[in-house]
Structure 1
Amino acid sequence: MSQQVFADAIGKSKSWVDKVERGVRTLDKYSVLNEIADALAIDAQLLLGRDTPRRDDRYNCIDQLEVNSIRASLERYERLGRYLGAAALEPVSVSELRKSVKHAWFAFEGANYPVLARTLIELLKSAPIAEEHAPEHEKAEAAGLLTQVYQIASSVLRKLGEAQLSWLAADRAIGAAQRCDDPLLIGIATMRVGNALRSLGRHQAALDLNVQVAHGLMTEIGSAARAQPEALSVYGILLLQGAMAASLSGDTATTRDLLNSAGRAASRVGPGVNHYWTSFGPMNVELHRAASAVELGDGRLALQIHERLDRAELEGLVPERRAHHYLDLARGCAQIGEFDKAGRALVAADRNAPSEIRCRPIAHEVISDVLRRTRGSAPLPVRQLADRMGIAALCRSSR
């Protein structure tokens, strides 16, 4: 991380970070150490120079109790508290809410699920109240921050296999987005709804929604040829998610057309940007080409796409996006019987964002499949990863 990115992640100034790194300031508050550890996705004890006991990786995932807490937060209507007899929550300021939402995005993009769970549970309670009590001139921004909270919740719930709950959060995101004055946030919220529909098996509905809103957005803002990079990023990510829905429907022609349209938009946005937390750009388009090839059953094409990627640009993406790609690559390699390559891709995914692999049901399915179908023993790094995930013993007992 650059000093500025790290400073943003912990809510400090770049100058503060610089002084700490040069030894001008000392870290004498344990609460600050915890914030730094969260931002770096490490145990706070490491910052104190102490060894940390090895923990079961399940403790680094969002567990069912935390999912239930998120569900309870989504089922609550904080604004109706006075009618429901609930204790009134103290509203947080919009500036405090902005900082917390940014922290949640950093945790999501780093696949730091323990931090994300704690942050989300709190934000789902506090963000609706913050919007309700925001001064008139800040209400639109508060609504924009609330829709981001629901969007993060929808995305992480979908990764955990909670499709219905993901759809509920995404639907709430649409409602909040309509109360702010940013049509691009409406577009991004729509993408979350489309992704939730995809997880529910509603592939055609997801395709239609993403494509219609993408083109409607361009009609409202202006043609794609005149749109700014921020608008092109939202437009492009909607097309990419539409392409994924089309590939799940087996529609090769529509998948190709949407990917090509997204590619033209990405060429104008350029590499190394992350407008509206989309990571949209030429590299992300290529990763979606590989992912859609896997959904279409063409693992060999996915492998070919991966082999031609610019490694420096790939490393420039956020950890969650990189790990997601390596998981897709592992699935593609398994499709064509390249189990050694599939295993290496899983290990690479784990190296980029451990929780993205160790906590997702689909990753458990892929590594189980690789272990079962590999002739002889799988490579040691794959077996070690499976052991940490509690999968190897299950596979051995099922033989």
Structure 2
Amino acid sequence: MPDPMREVGKRVATARRARRLSQLDLAAQAHISLSMLRKIEQGNRAPSDDTLDAIAAALGLDPSRLVADRTRTDGRVRATLPALSAAIASYDIPGAPPDRPLTALEAAAEEAQGWRLGAQYVRLATAAPGLVADAAAALHSAPPKERARAASVLFSVARSADAVAYKFGARDLSARLIELMRWAAPRTSDPLATATTAYVRTEVFFAARAHEAGLRALHAAIDAAPSPREERTSAARGALHMRAAVVAGRAGDAAAAVEHLGEAQRLTEGLRERVYAGTSFGPDSVRIHRVSVAVSLGGDHIANALEVARQWKPPEVLPAERRSGFYIELARAQLWTGQYDHAFASLKLARRIAPQHTREHPWARESAATLRRLKRADAESLTSFAEWIGAV
């Protein structure tokens, strides 16, 4: 059984060398002593949470990439959820203005969005309660000319916080954060905020397996979305079509799924792949959703997912969360077609790209458990992975 303390040390040293930093450089950037860093890398000292956060920040990583202990990482995220719940309890009640100016909150909201897209959930969860509380206070205390800006910040941080709540199983908290987004959307003066809320709200229908209702909600959102006359509006409508395709696939409606994918593909014309209004959209995102839809539909459609994967791999410019999701979906398709070694390789790749996203994904956990049952002879590495993901 690996020693968690030594595993942390090895991961710190590996990440440091990959960035061509000396121990002295990293110690200085993390504001810790050189002696402490050496002991951590040698596995002779366990870093505190604050020290681990400082090292991870200096390396540009989420702390979850350095921790071998699932319980420790997950516990840190879940420990923040009561504070997040308290932060949104009074979002519509005016209070004292925040200490941070609006410009600083805008920068913090942008950083939180990057953590969300990069699946850096520990960093996001740690910052989210204070950021949500400050953003709500900023909205209530802002002068009239700045209220739309402040509302946009609150909208953005609520969406980022929702990613943590939803992925860590706090579904009631997630629903409340989505309601906060719906409340803030008309106050942003951004016509795309309502479309973004509809995109995120689909999580509620996924959790309830209410796919037909979710599809109706997305159809209404598509009809109400601004006409696709420029990049942002085309991307907003295209993202809704991608989402509708996935919902239709889970509902078993192949015709609707294909129609929505076609519309999403059409809306990528002239657009480069990038993040629009907090959502990645473009030709690569549509390809990933083709795989997701094919896996949801199952049966003969699985061949379509495997064909996409044979011809194309998600580029590194895509957000880590989206890339890891591709390999988690691909692993399911490979598992169902008897390609057990390929399925395990896909799961390991998903973990390398976004470990926390992979570990919290129920399909990744389910695939790992199934592989372990089917391939007991390959015990050591597969069992280690299954223990890491919580499939045993």
Distance, in Å, in 2 between the alignment partners of 1:277 and 1:105 is 7
Distance, in Å, in 2 between the alignment partners of 1:381 and 1:351 is 15
Distance, in Å, in 2 between the alignment partners of 1:81 and 1:183 is 25
Distance, in Å, in 2 between the alignment partners of 1:176 and 1:183 is 12
Q: Does 1:205 align with 2:213?
A: yes
Matched positions, count? 345
Deviation at 1:337, TM superposition (A): 2.6
* Stretch moving more, 163-172 or 110-119: 163-172
The match for 1:10 is none
The match for 2:260 is 258
Deviation at 1:381, TM superposition (A): 4.5
1:60 aligns with one of 61, 66, 73 = 73
1:71/1:345 Cα in 2 relative to 1: closer, same or farther (>3 Å)? Answer: same
Provide, for residues 318-364 of structure 1, a one-character-per-residue CA deviation record: whole Å limited to 9, x for no partner: 11110111111112222223221111110000011111112334422
1:239/1:206 Cα in 2 relative to 1: closer, same or farther (>3 Å)? Answer: same
1:67/1:368 Cα in 2 relative to 1: closer, same or farther (>3 Å)? Answer: farther
Q: Does 1:173 align with 2:173?
A: no
The match for 1:14 is none
Q: Which amino acid aligns with 1:57?
A: R
What SS is found at the alignment partner of 1:274? Answer: strand
What SS is found at the alignment partner of 1:270? Answer: coil
1:66/1:35 Cα in 2 relative to 1: closer, same or farther (>3 Å)? Answer: same
Distance, in Å, in 2 between the alignment partners of 1:373 and 1:72 is 45
* Correspondences of 1:300-319 after superposition (within 5 Å): 300-309=303-312, 311=313, 314-319=315-320
2:156 aligns with one of 140, 148, 154 = 148
What SS is found at the alignment partner of 2:368? Answer: helix
The match for 1:349 is 350
Distance, in Å, in 2 between the alignment partners of 1:207 and 1:285 is 18
The match for 2:269 is 267
Identity of aligned residues (%): 25
Provide, for residues 58-94 of structure 1, a one-character-per-residue CA deviation record: whole Å limited to 9, x for no partner: 32335433233323333x1145376xxxxx5645321
Q: Report if the CA contact (8 A) 2:125-2:164 is conserved.
A: no
1:230 aligns with one of 229, 232, 239 = 232
The match for 2:302 is 299
Q: Which runs of 5+ in 2 are unaligned?
A: 1-24, 33-49
What SS is found at the alignment partner of 1:182? Answer: coil
Q: Does 1:157 align with 2:165?
A: yes
Q: Report if the CA contact (8 A) 1:130-1:142 is conserved.
A: yes
Distance, in Å, in 2 between the alignment partners of 1:320 and 1:335 is 23
Q: Report if the CA contact (8 A) 1:240-1:259 is conserved.
A: yes
Q: Report if the CA contact (8 A) 2:246-2:257 is conserved.
A: yes
Distance, in Å, in 1 between the alignment partners of 2:389 and 2:221 is 39
Distance, in Å, in 2 between the alignment partners of 1:328 and 1:200 is 20
Q: Report if the CA contact (8 A) 1:262-1:285 is conserved.
A: yes
1:143/1:201 Cα in 2 relative to 1: closer, same or farther (>3 Å)? Answer: same
